[in-house]
Structure 1
Amino acid sequence: MSSFVRLHPQLRHGIVNDLGWRSLRPVQELAVDAVLDGCNVVVLAPTAGGKTEASIFPVLSRILSEGLDPVAALYVCPIRALLNNVEERIRAYARMVGLDAFKWHGDVAATKKARFAREPAHLLLTTPESLEVMLISQKTSARNLFRQLSAVIVDEIHAFAGDDRGAHLVALLERLTHFCGRDLQRIGLSATVGNPEEIGAWFQGSSRRPFRLVDPPRPLAERNLLIDRVSDVADAAREAARLGQGKKSLIFVESRSQAERVAAAMAGRGVEVFVHHSAVSRADRQLAEAHFVAGTNTAIVCTSTMELGIDIGDLDLVIQVDAPSSVASLLQRMGRTGRRAGTRANCTFLCESPETLVQAVALLRLAERGWVESVRPVHAAAHVLAHQIMALVLQEGGISRHRVREWVASATPFHGLDEADVAELVDTMIARDILHEADGLLSLGVAGELRFGRKNFFELYAVFDAPQAMRVMHGNQDVGIVETAFVRAVLEKPGGGSFRLAGRSWQVGQVEWSKAVCRVTPAKAGRVPVWLGTPSMMSGAVCAEIKRTLAGDEQHAWLSDAAGAELRELREDYDGLVGEGETPLEDDGETIRWYTFAGGALNRLLASGLERVGAGEWTAGNWSLKRKGHVEVGAVREDVLRLAGLRWEEVAGGEANDAKLEEVSKFQRCLPERMARRLAVERLFDVEGVMAFAGRLRVPVVSRRGG
């Protein structure tokens, strides 16, 4: 029997008569049963696969059948843009059955929030950061607001599970459980990931509900794919403009600077072009999305900001300049097309180098085999616990150290911390005046108020301290952000200087250094900004597939003639460097390279190990390590073989110096030294991976001297 009949009659009537649906999709059928059976659920489906309805329909049915009062359910998204995107659809579903939904985030007017607090809706749409605001707000009674809460839906849960925002989110779920005193039903919506069961366990926390994975069989994806070779950015822009004529296309690139360069090179080529990345103002990003929905000859040049399921209407083509670093990103990007009935996913890769070409080939090979990266949740997030202790202090107006664990310890990210760890953390925060303890209650100390008080609290969610940046303003219009060092460099140009941002050129006018504001006027041309950031690191699995691709001879149907010829030449260049089970040293007489194909994180620690055994300084990439300065290759090989005897925990611990500790978390100063160092080691290095790698070394020497 179809699970449709289990839905509340009022909802069934609305689905048939208002929406005109005659059936549910398989993912929705399975999710309805799982939710109405009372399970916690993770729902897997591609972009536009019906995940939102798979969660909303059974939750609305529960609200109607059980007579739940507001706020009965939360719908949590990782970004505001996604909330804005689903708001109208979810509100329409709710109103279809006489209920309502309200969106709460930082852009929503205070008057609307106050009205909601007085007359709450059954469904609340929000982000984790806005939810935190509600929990610690002195204006909103979270206890009253959430006392009837019964279910929480988390959209794009894979985007949370592997980072600090996810640890923060599941800690919030435990605090909400504490408020309402019931076992909240937890429903996660996800794109395809390699370890959905593990994500489900991470999501479970204190809940005792059974868990069910909803992952219906899907037919093999039919895609129109092409990998082509271009000579440079200008060539990529010309081809992207040609392909995009009369169409709606997304052009993905791998950095903000590259987005600005490609957009500039596409100007005047017959396609309306917008830029979408994290340094562009929210207003300009929203403008790009709105123009795209209405346009017919439009392209958005974007970074990963357009990966998550923001609905921009029908899309004809995805173009990828070079290649993303993961299969997960590749699938998200390709999945933006082929959503209309009778259409296929359509993606063209324009690769500027042989290396990005073979990277694209390797990613597609993995995707065709159904492989995708796993997301690894943390289990001893002491820095996030420090954040939660301060949040509880603000929420409760002071809290006993002995009550901290009862509030949040059930959250999976804290399972690796015992009572002694929590006591040591609290003692450290007191000793550093971040916390103050009096009459058995913790409050913020002087240093805590200065650094982490209410005024500064909500800027602390990012994992890394943002580089010093300046807001770019054209009159009252927010254009975006550039780094302060870049503005200084521009001003050193004769007569001032100009730069590009948000797809336009700007002349620097007044710079208000104390306010970190750069005021600009339109210009005819300008240089592309450089933003600091962590280099793209590929996983060992992707690099291993690149090695297999270079070692093979298969010519894939999705390679253009030029790309196929390039791949054949590259395979010849790597002859002798991609033997199975081998990690050769290449000596060209000037430079020594060690080809590990182990991935960036592992190679970075190998470079530290080589320095530890006296092999000199090495630069780590994703495929290989390069030695600075040339020495006799036989001696280098002996040094490489000595890596098997290193104590890698000590190597990693030694590399986790104070600068790296501060880089890893804004809450590092809250942590005892051993916890801070352990955090840095976990974040920056793959100790287990390098131990396994160093234990099976076969290191031939390949000489390229004289050729």
Structure 2
Amino acid sequence: MSIFDRYAPFIQDFIYRSNWESLRAIQAAAGDAIFNTDENVLLTASTASGKTEAAFFPILTLFSEDMPRSVGAIYIGPLKALINDQFSRLNDLCEEADIPVWHWHGDVAQSHKNKMLKNPSGILQITPESLEAMLLRKHALIPKLFGDLRFIVIDEIHSLMRGDRGGQTICLIERICKMAGANPRRIGLSATIGDPTAAGEFLAYGTGRSTVIPKIENKGVKWRLSMEHFYISQQNHSNEKDTADALPVLDEKTDIAPEHADAGMGYIFEHTRGKKCLIFVNSREECEAVTTTLRSYCEAKHEPDRFLIHHGNLSAAYRETAEEAMKDEDIFMTTCTTATLELGIDIGRLERAFQIDAPYTVSSFLQRMGRTGRRDLPPEMWFVIREELPEPRSMLPETIPWKLLQGIALIQVYIEDRWVEPPKLDRLPFSLLYHQTMSTLASCGELTPAELASRVLTLKYFRRITKDDYKILLRHLIETDHIQRTENDGLIVGLAGERVVNSFKFYAVFQENEEYTVRWGSQELGTIVMPPPAGEKIAIAGHVWIVEEVDHKRRLVYCDQIKGKVPAYFGDCPGDINTKILLRMKEVLREDKNYPYLMKNAVTRLAQARLTARNSGVTESPLICLGGNMWCLLPWLGTYAFLALERFLKLKCSDRLGLKGMDSSRPFYIQFTMKVSPEEFFYVLTKEAEKEFSPMELVYDSEVPVFEKYDEFLPAELVKKGFAFGILGISEMIERILSWKSFI
């Protein structure tokens, strides 16, 4: 029997109505794995390949033959927007078979949630944070809700494998399954898995099953790819006439005078006109700034506003307005967004995506480009690399176009090697350990220390945590009143712990800033951190507002709309760049290769950079003299190995080398002065790297390097241990230092 013949009749009818001539390779492979094995399944295929349908066609077929007596499948999505999108798609598919589809996150009406609680059935679509809240607040209902749970589908699983959020998801699944007495199969979906074997092991944590990873031959897809470079200041001599002509003629009455026009923004403005596009940026601040600028260009050109905005700090109303407009085939708008529209969402017939500067990862680049290329169009992305014009007296490393090199490297490592960042699963997740300990106590009530340890430490994600470390944590939490001992020697949540657990922010394990809700009349615009006093300006929702009142007690900001430009601030957004990208950036400088996607300005800028590199020797030696006793070290190491090297220099080598004034531009270069020769520098580094030392020696004496959300509640020794053994890339750093022996 073919996979198509095995599908339920209503699935076959759906396929006929969709005018599909045959099943895609991913759908045939998924059907075979789900129908014919009892294992977990990891489906990896390109974006827009039909992974969601591939997973749910066989699941829904099995449900139609034997309907579960509770929620039969949980779909875990990393973003609300993704869940909203999949909810409408699955609803259409399931309606005919009378299989309910429920969605559950912070923006969903309580009435919809109550219906699911009364009649647990079908498919539940939920975020990890809402699953945490459900486990905490609806603890007694878990057996009823999930007693016959058969499948857990984790969408965009790669996005959950680089930090505590993925660990939280796996812990929650294990806890729910133990409470409900179920052992569902897990199905992981992703277009950008760097190490499928490691991802398969992660997916299977605690199930006792292996993971089937079907080999799927992807058809070759042609990309439409371009990368152009602009100087932000108007002294843009390399921007030739064809680019200059794209700049809007600005009205003198607007805030933006022509001499201050941003060439890169003008380029985007002209090439989005009459089209449906996405503009990806790397932070919420930049998202606001770009949207405000582009809207001011519309005003200067007397054109209707055609720019929307979408990021995590906006209210649900603003986000959903942008999502609906992008799905409407008759509306030609452009949305400026962060990663919130990066994952999985089908937003219709997009003509192209823009990326301002380079994203941090290959995975992110592929996901963002994958938003286009649907409805039989090729994927299309235009990189817009912007750089401040270097000052005449700038030091050498400041004259290298790092963002341009990073963008090229991201593209090349994928084109040449099909390389994507592997998951990082070797951290010591003490912050998450605190979170799951408090969550378990809050949901279960009083437990003995042994019972608590058996519930938490047995979760597979905590396999690297020792019993001794857990004892240290529990003693500290008792001392700080996060946990309290009872008369019966049991443990319950203490007064300090209650304040943490009872906050809605407890559900999330990713770092958040203290946020204020911004209101304009009856509308909720979104949230900001660190609101300015009344009378000052803020930027949110792509407009500028003047603050009329700040209610610190209720965390509310009341404002009124005005014209102008002002920087937005939502909190820091650090990037994590892999060492392979840095090494490829070095090769970009060293080789003479032409890249067909580079446009005129980018070709010129790269040629300048290569000339600078050849004249200075930055690709031949990692240590370059900037003049006198000022030096620059270019280690070509990823973010966490670079961080380890900074500390190694300061704590292990500084005195012998006479290092002073260390100034890092992470992860590209370190500037400093020193009193020794280059040969002595490399000799000292390699000798120190050959000695055995504990990673703890790279933590400063008085430092408690809080890195994750709940580190502040941990004992200092565990914070230091987690940072030293789980964050710093020490082995990679040592390998690089030892490779410098030839310079002695």
Normalised TM-score (structure 1): 0.91
Please tell me whether the aligned partners of residues 510 and 709 of structure 2 are also in contact (alpha carbons under 8 angstroms). yes
Please tell me whether the aligned partners of residues 696 and 721 of structure 2 are also in contact (alpha carbons under 8 angstroms). no
Partner of 2:342: 307
Please tell me whether the aligned partners of residues 528 and 570 of structure 2 are also in contact (alpha carbons under 8 angstroms). yes
CA displacement at 1:498 relative to structure 2 = 2.3
TM-superposition CA deviations, 1:276-319 (whole Å, max 9, x none): 22333332122122222225431111222221112211100111
Please tell me whether the aligned partners of residues 519 and 558 of structure 2 are also in contact (alpha carbons under 8 angstroms). yes
Counterpart CA distance in 2 for 1:401 and 1:65 is 45
Computed over aligned residues only, the root mean square deviation of the Cα atoms, in angstroms, reads 2.6
Partner of 1:461: 508
1:392 paired with 2:427, answer no
Counterpart CA distance in 2 for 1:35 and 1:667 is 40
Counterpart CA distance in 2 for 1:380 and 1:130 is 24
**Residues 597 and 528 from structure 1, CA distance in 2 versus in 1: closer, same or farther, beyond 3 angstroms?**
same
Counterpart CA distance in 1 for 2:156 and 2:204 is 16
Please tell me whether the aligned partners of residues 582 and 637 of structure 2 are also in contact (alpha carbons under 8 angstroms). yes
Counterpart CA distance in 2 for 1:440 and 1:58 is 50
Structure 1 portions without partners, runs of 5+? 702-707
Partner of 1:326: 361
Of 234, 242, 252, 2:280 maps to 252
Partner of 1:14: 13
The amino acid of 2:338's aligned partner reads T
The amino acid of 1:349's aligned partner reads F
Please tell me whether the aligned partners of residues 234 and 262 of structure 1 are also in contact (alpha carbons under 8 angstroms). no
Partner of 1:689: 732
Partner of 2:403: 356
Aligned residues: 687
Structure 2 portions without partners, runs of 5+? 233-260, 388-400
**Residues 293 and 12 from structure 1, CA distance in 2 versus in 1: closer, same or farther, beyond 3 angstroms?**
closer
Counterpart CA distance in 1 for 2:570 and 2:321 is 23
Partner of 2:412: 365
TM-superposition CA deviations, 1:423-474 (whole Å, max 9, x none): 443333233322223325321122222333xx2264352333x334432221
Counterpart CA distance in 1 for 2:629 and 2:526 is 44
TM-superposition CA deviations, 1:1-52 (whole Å, max 9, x none): 53222333x3444334554444321101111111122220111122221111
CA displacement at 1:229 relative to structure 2 = 1.6
**Residues 96 and 379 from structure 1, CA distance in 2 versus in 1: closer, same or farther, beyond 3 angstroms?**
farther
1:158 paired with 2:158, answer yes
Counterpart CA distance in 1 for 2:405 and 2:695 is 36
**Residues 532 and 106 from structure 1, CA distance in 2 versus in 1: closer, same or farther, beyond 3 angstroms?**
closer
Please tell me whether the aligned partners of residues 577 and 584 of structure 1 are also in contact (alpha carbons under 8 angstroms). no
Instruction: Compare 149-158 and 65-74 and name the one that shifted more.
Output: 65-74
Of 480, 486, 502, 1:432 maps to 480
**Residues 225 and 609 from structure 1, CA distance in 2 versus in 1: closer, same or farther, beyond 3 angstroms?**
same
Counterpart CA distance in 2 for 1:16 and 1:390 is 47
TM-superposition CA deviations, 1:100-151 (whole Å, max 9, x none): 1111222222233222211223111111221222222258611211111111
1:503 paired with 2:542, answer yes
What are the equivalent positions in structure 2 for 1:636-651 lying under 5 Å apart?
640-641=685-686, 643-645=688-690, 649-650=694-695
Partner of 1:473: 519
Of 695, 715, 722, 1:679 maps to 722
Please tell me whether the aligned partners of residues 26 and 216 of structure 1 are also in contact (alpha carbons under 8 angstroms). yes
TM-superposition CA deviations, 1:534-567 (whole Å, max 9, x none): 4434221101000011000001111122221211
What are the equivalent positions in structure 2 for 1:566-581 lying under 5 Å apart?
566-575=605-614
Partner of 2:269: 241
**Residues 31 and 654 from structure 1, CA distance in 2 versus in 1: closer, same or farther, beyond 3 angstroms?**
same
Counterpart CA distance in 2 for 1:4 and 1:66 is 19
Instruction: Compare 208-217 and 573-582 and name the one that shifted more.
Output: 573-582
Partner of 2:239: none
1:483 paired with 2:518, answer no
Counterpart CA distance in 2 for 1:99 and 1:468 is 40
**Residues 521 and 15 from structure 1, CA distance in 2 versus in 1: closer, same or farther, beyond 3 angstroms?**
same
Counterpart CA distance in 2 for 1:236 and 1:652 is 45
Please tell me whether the aligned partners of residues 101 and 125 of structure 1 are also in contact (alpha carbons under 8 angstroms). yes
What are the equivalent positions in structure 2 for 1:242-641 lying under 5 Å apart?
242-267=270-295, 268=298, 270=303, 272-294=306-328, 296-341=331-376, 343-353=377-387, 354-369=401-416, 370-378=418-426, 380-438=428-486, 439-452=488-501, 455-456=502-503, 458-459=505-506, 461-464=508-511, 466-484=512-530, 487-488=532-533, 496-575=535-614, 582-589=621-628, 591-612=630-651, 613-614=653-654, 615-622=659-666, 624-628=668-672, 634=678, 640-641=685-686
The amino acid of 1:258's aligned partner reads E
**Residues 648 and 598 from structure 1, CA distance in 2 versus in 1: closer, same or farther, beyond 3 angstroms?**
farther
TM-superposition CA deviations, 1:653-679 (whole Å, max 9, x none): 424854423x4331542x444322221
Instruction: Compare 329-338 and 411-420 and name the one that shifted more.
Output: 411-420
Please tell me whether the aligned partners of residues 537 and 599 of structure 1 are also in contact (alpha carbons under 8 angstroms). yes
Counterpart CA distance in 2 for 1:620 and 1:554 is 30
Counterpart CA distance in 2 for 1:136 and 1:487 is 35
CA displacement at 1:643 relative to structure 2 = 4.5
Please tell me whether the aligned partners of residues 76 and 128 of structure 2 are also in contact (alpha carbons under 8 angstroms). yes
**Residues 21 and 175 from structure 1, CA distance in 2 versus in 1: closer, same or farther, beyond 3 angstroms?**
same
CA displacement at 1:195 relative to structure 2 = 0.8
The amino acid of 1:545's aligned partner reads R
Please tell me whether the aligned partners of residues 643 and 729 of structure 2 are also in contact (alpha carbons under 8 angstroms). no
SS at match of 2:227: strand
SS at match of 1:375: coil
Counterpart CA distance in 2 for 1:599 and 1:159 is 19
Partner of 1:704: none
The amino acid of 1:400's aligned partner reads T
Counterpart CA distance in 2 for 1:368 and 1:456 is 46
**Residues 532 and 134 from structure 1, CA distance in 2 versus in 1: closer, same or farther, beyond 3 angstroms?**
closer
**Residues 106 and 534 from structure 1, CA distance in 2 versus in 1: closer, same or farther, beyond 3 angstroms?**
closer
Counterpart CA distance in 1 for 2:701 and 2:214 is 41
Normalised TM-score (structure 2): 0.86
Counterpart CA distance in 2 for 1:537 and 1:589 is 33
SS at match of 1:695: helix
TM-superposition CA deviations, 1:153-209 (whole Å, max 9, x none): 111111112211111111111112212323210111112221121111112122123
The amino acid of 1:446's aligned partner reads L
Counterpart CA distance in 1 for 2:374 and 2:442 is 46
The amino acid of 2:268's aligned partner reads A
Counterpart CA distance in 2 for 1:595 and 1:317 is 35
**Residues 378 and 413 from structure 1, CA distance in 2 versus in 1: closer, same or farther, beyond 3 angstroms?**
farther
Counterpart CA distance in 2 for 1:657 and 1:86 is 49
Aligned identity (percent) is: 25
SS at match of 1:106: coil
**Residues 538 and 257 from structure 1, CA distance in 2 versus in 1: closer, same or farther, beyond 3 angstroms?**
same
Partner of 1:223: 223
TM-superposition CA deviations, 1:305-355 (whole Å, max 9, x none): 2211122111001111221121111111111111122x2111111111332
TM-superposition CA deviations, 1:46-75 (whole Å, max 9, x none): 222111111111111222233422211111
Counterpart CA distance in 1 for 2:577 and 2:331 is 36
Instruction: Compare 248-257 and 279-288 and name the one that shifted more.
Output: 279-288
Counterpart CA distance in 1 for 2:272 and 2:59 is 41
CA displacement at 1:254 relative to structure 2 = 2.2
